[in-house]
Structure 1
Amino acid sequence: MIVKRGCVVTHSVAQEWGIGKVTEVNEIRATIQFNDGMIRKISSSHFTSLQPADPASYLPPVEKVPVAKARAPRAVSTKPKKAKKLVEAVPVV
């Protein structure tokens, strides 16, 4: 199979990955984003394991929205605060 950017493929050995879309290709490997959410780099020696798939069957993985983590409230000290000592200015004579 000729692998080009934008092609929709499936891996004949790893069916559990689902359908993937080729995002980058060079002489050494192809980068493919699969339905399971993983981006995998397939070596050119394994291109024979890739089979063409129906483009309508590819569903891009759902992007996860980062959730703001709840922070614990700051601990309140039980010790009384120390009063700062004020040093009075002594006039120089």
Structure 2
Amino acid sequence: MTIKRGDVVSHCGAVQWGVGKVVEIGENQASIHFNDGVFRKIAASHFGSLLPAAPASFTPPPPAKPEDKPVRVPKAPKAAAARQKKG
């Protein structure tokens, strides 16, 4: 299969990925954003596993909300901690 940027495809060996949209074509691979939210690089030797899909079938997942990370409290320097223990 000949693919170009913007094509919507499915991978016959990995239907669990859903359909994907080709976002970049290189000399030896294509970068494809699949419905499961993962960007995958498919080697040119595996382009035969890609099948055309209906353009409307590609629905990328909504962007993930950033997670609240716990605030990191810096440790006291070792010298200051040793002085505090003595005093």
Regarding TM over 0.5, the answer is: yes
The match for 1:64 is 64
- Residue type at the aligned position of 2:10: T
Normalising by structure 2, report the TM-score.
0.77
Normalising by structure 1, report the TM-score.
0.72
- Residue type at the aligned position of 1:41: K
Greater helix share, structure number? 2
1:50 CA drift (Å): 0.2
1:69 CA drift (Å): 3.1
Find the aligned partners of 2:20 and 2:58 in 1 and give their Cα distance.
7
How large is the Cα RMSD of the aligned pairs?
2.0
5+ residue gaps, structure 2, are 74-83
The match for 1:13 is 13
Find the aligned partners of 2:32 and 2:60 in 1 and give their Cα distance.
11
Structure 1 stretches of at least 4 aligned residues deviating more than 6 Å after TM superposition: none
Find the aligned partners of 2:54 and 2:40 in 1 and give their Cα distance.
19
Within a 5 Å distance, the mapping from 1:74-89 to structure 2 comes to none
The match for 1:88 is none
Number of positions where the alignment pairs a residue of Structure 1 with one of Structure 2: 76
Q: Rg: which structure is higher?
A: 1
Question: C-alpha deviations, 1:11-48, integer Å up to 9, x for none?
Answer: 01110110000000011000001011111000000000
The match for 2:23 is 23
Residue identity (%): 51
5+ residue gaps, structure 1, are 74-78, 83-93
